[in-house]
Amino acid sequence: MALVLSVSGSPSPTSRTARLLRHLDARLTAHGHEVAPLDVRNLPPQALTGADVDHPAILEVAQQFLRADGIVIGTPVYKAAYSGLLKSLLDLLPQFALAGKTVLPLATGGTTAHVLAIDYALRPVLSSMGAGHVTQGWFVLDRHITVEQDGAVTVDPAAAGPLDQVLDQFSAALNRAAVLAPAGASAG
Ligand SMILES: Cc1cc2nc3c(=O)[nH]c(=O)nc-3n(C[C@H](O)[C@H](O)[C@H](O)COP(=O)(O)O)c2cc1C
């Protein structure tokens, strides 16, 4: 079992990205992993905009990244890239906050014109932060995510199948990493 931090970088209070991630959290739990959700929009704005790396909330998030085996990074596509809110958090984390982590990048967007935003925009940032293994990501069109009145999330079959596949790959990568570096093993 791996510990997964599932991070939504959308500033929207009705975020489809966040809803999608919470929907996928349940799938990861069913795979046997423990999932901790994190919505960047709930962090103190003054810490994010003031580059306050010593703010207790930022220090706690840095610890959450450190403890996690796997990280799901979800972002809406804004202006052909990831959200500024996500970047404002990543900028406050240690340079190698993703060292040794297995990372699943996910994006939601309004047009397939920006389907590659994960690869040309987000993936280089994740690599620069030392991500051990960035697994296959996926881009989901916003209109393929429906939030029902009771809050339940339905994903269009066009996106649900590929999402299942990338989740399976992420889960398998987490399991392989656990075999290679059992809990409690030290790299140093
Ligand atoms: C300010 C802004 C900029 C956007 N820019 C893009 C874009 O460049 N490409 C795209 O595909 N979608 C774009 N969108 C659409 C969002 O990416 C899409 O609706 C996404 O699912 C919103 O996610 P959220 O509900 O989690 O915030 C933009 C939306 C907003 C509000």
pLDDT at residue 174 above 70?
yes
Residue 75 alpha carbon, nearest atom of ligand 1: 26
Ligand 1 centroid vs 76 CA: distance in angstroms?
A: 5
Ligand 1 centroid vs 17 CA: distance in angstroms?
A: 10
Structure tokens at 187: 């790299």
pLDDT at residue 187 above 60?
no
The protein residue whose alpha carbon is closest to atom 23 in ligand 1 is 76
Ligand 1 centroid vs 16 CA: distance in angstroms?
A: 10
Interval 155-180 mean pLDDT: 96
pLDDT category of residue 180 using cuts at 50, 70 and 90: confident
pLDDT at residue 185 above 70?
no
Q: pLDDT tens across 114-129, in order?
A: 999 999 999 999 999 9
According to DSSP, the β-strands at 145-147 and 153-155 are antiparallel
Distance of CA 146 to the CA centre of its chain: 20
